[in-house]
């Protein structure tokens, strides 16, 4: 069979693009289809009048040498094409605030900080130190994140630090997320070292093995925003590889592979033959793909994936009109605060080039599993909460400061939750991939939601497809 390209990839988000990139590095061609006319999926950056708003991810955590290598290869490291180079998070971004009692408190980052912080009582602090002596989970079924943290570190750590942290990553419910699936590295620390603290110390001292560990871990973005990364990967793909603004009308299993039919932006219909097929669209878009009923039936358990709505509202203000020093990554908010916000990123404190001179940007996240209705909060509600927590006032009049910039993005199904029944999702994907040779699922509902996880999963899959003879 003469193939049009080796692999067809449906979805030009970061996962699909990295799969194509790794295939190309091994001299295998691919076609990457997307309904959108831009690449990047959830990674979208908007620049307006000196402000930079991220609709989706604000930063990328580089812990793995493969991610760092990719950034270098696509020309985004220092000294890369002017205007796009990598930006490391500022030093002050190491500080993270937690809101308790209407006030922001810096999260402790050292043993002496833990002793001094008002976030935990003395009893709570002593309980945290008992963690190395706590045994393994003896219960039936999956252990939730909330149960794991409470059992190992005590309820105070859960409520004052761990639960807000879960809101920041998954916009999730700590009682519903599976420790094994949602936080596999933390789970592994206990499996391998008997304790999270002992495991963390072993990792720091270099005793624990981590083949691709990037030292030091870096939080980064790019001068013109996160979206430059998928764009730079797309630019590396050979001409004709990207099929944007296309509508697939048929995806058919044939003897030696897959036959795809699509219509391009000019309304012209095309057909192509591929050895392998990668599906990389969001879980809630799967049912709309023109797949054969047998495949859709195998993937039907994925309908159970929950992904609560999240809204990102990026607001600009004059620096002088905010009382808080904004000297950190941002603030996470405890559930007990009953805040209309999940958290706020101090975007222009994290990275340079996020706001004009003497102005700042704040990225306000709302919604999530615990309060999905808050995704509909108005700008007025958000500003009133920012005033309560950060102090917004115009001097000397003292009137409430008005934003100088506003950019809102609503994600009706933002982040897939790796919940207590997530093993069913893995089983369904595995069973579908086994039943249909050369069909692969690669997206953020499988093996990690972070941008870094999606990059690694895409690269690994591309390398696997290039050598796989089936």
> 3-state class of 63 per DSSP?
strand
The interface region with ligand FAD, picked from 83-91, 149-157, 186-194, 450-458 by CB under 6 A, is 450-458
Does residue 289 touch ligand FAD according to CB under 6 A?
yes
- What is the nearest approach in angstroms of ligand FAD to the Cβ of residue 247? 7
Does residue 443 touch ligand FAD according to CB under 6 A?
yes
- What is the nearest approach in angstroms of ligand FAD to the Cβ of residue 16? 6
The interface region with ligand FAD, picked from 45-53, 96-104, 282-290, 329-337 by CB under 6 A, is 282-290
Q: Which residues fall within 8 angstroms of residue 227, CB to CB, at 6 or more apart?
A: 40, 43, 44, 45
Does residue 170 touch ligand FAD according to CB under 6 A?
no
Q: 3, 4, 29, 35: which one contacts ligand FAD (CB under 6 A)?
A: 35
Does residue 248 touch ligand FAD according to CB under 6 A?
yes
- What is the nearest approach in angstroms of ligand FAD to the Cβ of residue 254? 20
Does residue 284 touch ligand FAD according to CB under 6 A?
no
- What is the nearest approach in angstroms of ligand FAD to the Cβ of residue 350? 10
> 3-state class of 33 per DSSP?
strand
Rounded Cα gap, residues 222 and 89, in angstroms: 10
The closest alpha carbon to 17, from 2, 27, 7, belongs to 7
Does residue 355 touch ligand FAD according to CB under 6 A?
no
Q: 117, 312, 348, 377: which one contacts ligand FAD (CB under 6 A)?
A: 312
The closest alpha carbon to 417, from 375, 445, 457, belongs to 445
The interface region with ligand FAD, picked from 101-109, 178-186, 274-282, 334-342 by CB under 6 A, is 274-282
Q: What angle do CA 25, 9, 1 make, to 5 degrees?
A: 85
Q: 11, 154, 225, 340: which one contacts ligand FAD (CB under 6 A)?
A: 11
Site string for ligand FAD, 379-418 (x = CB under 6 A): --------------------------------x--xx---
Q: Which of residues 14-33 bind ligand FAD (CB under 6 A)?
A: 14-16, 33
- What is the nearest approach in angstroms of ligand FAD to the Cβ of residue 60? 6
- What is the nearest approach in angstroms of ligand FAD to the Cβ of residue 89? 11
Nearer of residues 105 and 285 to ligand FAD, judged by Cβ: 285
Q: Give the 3-state secondary structure percentages of the chain, helix then strand then coil, rounded to 5.
A: 35, 25, 40
Does residue 287 touch ligand FAD according to CB under 6 A?
no
The interface region with ligand FAD, picked from 206-214, 336-344, 433-441, 444-452 by CB under 6 A, is 444-452
Nearer of residues 197 and 232 to ligand FAD, judged by Cβ: 232
Q: Which tokens in the block code for residue 53?
A: 């708003």
Q: 9, 22, 34, 362: which one contacts ligand FAD (CB under 6 A)?
A: 34
- What is the nearest approach in angstroms of ligand FAD to the Cβ of residue 73? 19
Does residue 36 touch ligand FAD according to CB under 6 A?
yes
- What is the nearest approach in angstroms of ligand FAD to the Cβ of residue 40? 7
The closest alpha carbon to 46, from 374, 306, 369, 312, belongs to 312
Q: 186, 291, 326, 454: which one contacts ligand FAD (CB under 6 A)?
A: 454
Does residue 310 touch ligand FAD according to CB under 6 A?
yes
Rounded Cα gap, residues 165 and 58, in angstroms: 16
Burial class of residue 106 in the structure, from the number of CB atoms within 10 Å of its CB (0-12 exposed, 13-18 middle, 19+ buried)? middle
C-alpha dihedral (172, 173, 174, 180), degrees to nearest 10: -60
Does residue 282 touch ligand FAD according to CB under 6 A?
yes
Rounded Cα gap, residues 319 and 27, in angstroms: 51
Q: Which tokens in the block code for residue 259?
A: 């036959």
Q: What angle do the packed helices 163-170 and 145-153 form, to 10 degrees? A: 150
**Distances from the Cα of 418 to the Cα of 176, 211, 304, angstroms:** 8, 25, 11
User: What DSSP designation does 101 have?
Assistant: T
Rounded Cα gap, residues 333 and 119, in angstroms: 12
Nearer of residues 34 and 64 to ligand FAD, judged by Cβ: 34
Nearer of residues 214 and 285 to ligand FAD, judged by Cβ: 285
Q: Count residues binding ligand FAD (CB under 6 A).
A: 38
User: What DSSP designation does 231 have?
Assistant: H
Q: Among the residues of 108-227, which ranges form H helices? A: 111-116, 122-129, 145-153, 155-157, 163-170, 179-182, 184-193, 196-204
**Distances from the Cα of 42 to the Cα of 64, 137, 215, 234, angstroms:** 21, 36, 27, 15
Site string for ligand FAD, 49-88 (x = CB under 6 A): -------xxxxx----------------------------
Interface residue list for ligand FAD (CB under 6 A):
10-16, 33-36, 41-43, 56-60, 248, 280-282, 285, 288-289, 310, 312, 411, 414-415, 443-444, 449-452, 454
């Amino acid at each position: 069979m003469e193939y049009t390209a080796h692999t067809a990839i449906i979805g030009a988000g970061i996962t699909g693009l990295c799969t194509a990139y790794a295939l190309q590095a091994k001299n295998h061609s691919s076609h990457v289809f997307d309904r959108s006319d831009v690449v990047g999926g959830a990674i979208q950056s908007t620049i307006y009048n000196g402000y930079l708003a991220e609709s989706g991810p604000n930063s990328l955590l580089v812990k793995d040498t493969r991610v760092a290598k990719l950034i270098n290869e696509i020309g985004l490291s220092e000294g890369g094409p002017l205007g796009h180079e990598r930006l490391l998070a500022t030093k002050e971004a190491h500080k993270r605030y937690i809101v308790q009692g209407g006030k922001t408190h810096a999260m402790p980052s050292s043993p002496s900080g833990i002793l001094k912080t008002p976030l935990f009582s003395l009893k709570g602090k002593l309980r945290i130190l008992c963690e190395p002596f706590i045994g393994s989970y003896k219960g039936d079924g999956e252990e939730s994140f909330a149960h794991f943290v409470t059992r190992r570190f005590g309820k105070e750590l859960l409520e004052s630090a761990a639960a807000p942290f879960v809101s920041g990553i998954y916009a999730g419910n700590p009682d519903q997320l599976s420790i094994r699936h949602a936080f596999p590295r933390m789970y592994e620390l206990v499996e391998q070292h008997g304790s999270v603290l002992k495991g963390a110390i072993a990792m720091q001292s270099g005793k624990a093995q981590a083949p691709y560990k990037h030292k030091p871990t870096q939080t980064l973005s790019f001068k013109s925003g996160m979206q430059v990364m998928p764009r730079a990967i797309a630019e590396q793909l050979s001409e004709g590889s990207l099929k944007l603004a296309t509508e697939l009308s048929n995806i058919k299993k044939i003897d030696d592979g897959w036959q795809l039919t699509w219509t391009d932006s000019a309304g012209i219909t095309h057909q192509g033959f591929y050895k392998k097929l990668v599906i990389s669209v969001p879980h809630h878009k799967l049912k709309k793909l023109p797949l054969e009923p047998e495949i859709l039936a195998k993937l039907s358990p994925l309908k159970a994936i929950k992904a609560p709505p999240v809204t990102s509202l990026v607001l600009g203000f004059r620096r002088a009109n905010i009382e808080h020093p904004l000297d950190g990554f941002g603030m996470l908010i405890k559930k007990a605060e009953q805040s209309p916000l999940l958290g706020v990123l101090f975007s222009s404190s994290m990275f340079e080039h996020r706001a004009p001179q003497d102005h700042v940007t704040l990225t306000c996240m709302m919604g999530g599993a615990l309060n999905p209705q808050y995704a509909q909060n108005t700008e007025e509600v958000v500003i009133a909460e920012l005033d309560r927590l950060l102090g917004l006032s115009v001097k000397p009049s003292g009137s409430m400061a008005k934003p100088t910039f506003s950019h809102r993005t609503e994600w009706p199904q933002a982040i897939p939750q790796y919940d207590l029944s997530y093993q069913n999702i893995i089983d369904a994907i595995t069973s579908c991939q086994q039943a249909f040779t050369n069909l692969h699922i690669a997206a953020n509902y499988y093996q990690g939601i972070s941008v870094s996880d999606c990059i690694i999963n895409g690269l690994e899959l591309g390398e696997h497809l290039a050598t796989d003879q089936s």
